[in-house]
Structure 1
């Protein structure tokens, strides 16, 4: 049976810029096995290319070019609407909604996949057409928004965060109940979704995955050395969008507490922070210390993963599952992570990675891996087998096939 699928995204899926685009591109490639795929994307910029490999139809719109002044005022007054949300307003305007309706009419999809809750405002357009709808929820966003933060310093900012979290929960609940299926990253998220929103809609685990072939050069150490990395043996890597709150806190723990103590025993060690939108603090410390390398956005992450002796993931907050760990596993890069960083993946401490939860434990784990080459090799091989068996695109296809079969 051929299935025509339309993905609605708030960013273009390639070039890969992080976990969101990695998951979207994964799911698009998996759905290509079932039939033609179209993509409708909305953002505040215009790419300089017009096709996506394997995608039959791609329509992209810059909402900043098409949003009216009245809509800008509506965006600023989001808190007056019952479930208004600034992040859901960001990729939406009435012009793009009309263009989505035109694409639905022309492409006639059997299945529409809305990625993330931020595309909620387009649901009313999709529901006008005879198709099945899937909500691909990368995180339980209302739960994530309610986690301790958040560095809210003023009463006004705290009030705004409280209102936004309440609105977000209502929006996520409505979207969950108005679609045919919800796809989630892990069993942990399935249980959380049921606790928060009930069991009315079928929930399926579609795990985050990686295309193993894209990491073969890294696994086999075939990349040229990264210019700034002087000593691969003692280089710690952290990967992710660095302004994203959970990543920001983790990176600052590395900068402020972990790296300085490691430096005392390993004076030649380096800290490699790879990802877009680094904070001013990160840039400032890198300016002062040549052994702290902050790359900003990079064309591909694999050379940097290959250049590191290990990835350290001291995450304390977050949701879903961390694609950064899967990228490390596929690249043969050993990992030291907190329990939060590794949640949902089924990775076992001492077999696939080292799980350490305090600053002292993380430092002990780093030094243990540097002093025990046989352990590094064991973790590397076991982690690669785990990602190959459970988190490759082939494994993801099996989960999608089950979900799709249950739609009919």
Structure 2
């Protein structure tokens, strides 16, 4: 078999198109790259039904709404997850026995050579895929055990601590078994590859497949064809944070922005605005926007480019996280300068002072934004170098070459 005749089935936890949020951007990247090698099918499972029945370029798409498929017995089983060492509430979220039967039928119908399972949370479907003669790739978008420890290390109260500890042990068991049963494991960065070894020792062959973006998608910002969102045309002092706002690492970062970083910037620059763009904003964020008109909370948007066009700086004050941050790559492609913590820029081969400013403390982040706002030539220099980096290392073309090498190695074995 050659890479020009591969049939690939993706199993995803969400509908990957339109790509909203980091996971979907990565999934849509991988789908588009694998289309170059042959027909692509998608089996998606989530707690809702999509409005559209069309995924551009995809040969076959089957969606399972597990919320309406679960039996009462399954709902009871899910509540008793802690009795089984390889059950976890977040992995149960996208699973139903009826959906597993539908996946089995889809595999029989599509007959893929390769199945790519996106995220550890789809582990429950692994046993179904193993019944069929196909290679299995586990695309481990985050090393979830590491991320879980970051998120719950400061949990208060005995009961909450015990629950978090049990969930972590179950998650480690799931992630380890998944990584050992797959034909290959894909991770976003060398850092994640090292974490896999640190947590689980020798597993299936691991390949770094970076998060990437379709750089050409952002060309309309450079050309001026894509205009700033209405009301944000004065772009000089617009500070942007982009991402799914209910996602715990993003929530922590945004609260830091609202409580500490932005108030200091407002004192220095009274005409500044904070743009929080992404789905599922918390009540805290919405309340802050009501109190302070210069804080704009959008909720889900159809297209982030008008907000990237409006931004003079993207700020990424992340203290937790895994994988690599696509929001930074989007800013690089859009020509928007970035100020980030080291955790925010983790896994991206970007250098402080050349491609972005890396600042870790609140005062440092404030000073970094202020540095760019007071010295526009610095922002231009950073944006120009960052654009060259994203084209060379994180474009779909660059990532496609890495995927092709990984797939060729798998087929040769």
- Do they superpose with TM above 0.5? yes
Kindly state the Cα deviation for residue 153 of structure 1 after the two structures are TM-superposed.
4.0
1 CA distance for matches of 2:208 and 2:151? 26
2:149 equivalent to 1:146:
yes
Candidates 294, 303, 306, aligned match of 2:309: 306
Q: Report the counterpart of residue 299 of structure 2 in structure 1.
A: 296
Kindly state the Cα deviation for residue 43 of structure 1 after the two structures are TM-superposed.
0.7
1 CA distance for matches of 2:229 and 2:398? 32
Q: Report the counterpart of residue 217 of structure 1 in structure 2.
A: 220
2:92 equivalent to 1:73:
no
- The superposition leaves residues 339-364 of structure 1 with CA deviations (integer Å, 9 ceiling, x where unpaired) of 00001111001110001011111111
Runs of 4+ aligned structure 1 residues displaced above 4 Å come to none
2 CA distance for matches of 1:225 and 1:340? 29
In the superposition, relative to structure 1, how do residues 63 and 169 fare at CA in structure 2: closer, same or farther (>3 Å)? same
Q: Report the counterpart of residue 30 of structure 2 in structure 1.
A: 27
Q: Report the counterpart of residue 359 of structure 1 in structure 2.
A: 362
Q: Report the counterpart of residue 136 of structure 1 in structure 2.
A: 139
Q: Report the counterpart of residue 64 of structure 2 in structure 1.
A: 61
1 CA distance for matches of 2:163 and 2:228? 46
| Structure 2 residues without counterparts, runs of 5 or longer | none
Kindly state the Cα deviation for residue 57 of structure 1 after the two structures are TM-superposed.
0.2
Kindly state the Cα deviation for residue 265 of structure 1 after the two structures are TM-superposed.
1.2
Contact kept? 1:231, 1:270, Cα under 8 Å? no
2:211 equivalent to 1:208:
yes
Q: Report the counterpart of residue 263 of structure 1 in structure 2.
A: 266
Contact kept? 1:314, 1:357, Cα under 8 Å? yes
2:407 equivalent to 1:404:
yes
Contact kept? 1:38, 1:57, Cα under 8 Å? yes
Q: Report the counterpart of residue 377 of structure 2 in structure 1.
A: 374
1 CA distance for matches of 2:398 and 2:22? 18
2:135 equivalent to 1:124:
no
2 CA distance for matches of 1:220 and 1:335? 20
**Partner secondary structure for residue 23 of structure 1:** helix
Deviates more, 1:215-224 or 1:8-17: 215-224
Kindly state the Cα deviation for residue 219 of structure 1 after the two structures are TM-superposed.
2.7
TM-score (norm 1): 0.98
TM-score (norm 2): 0.97
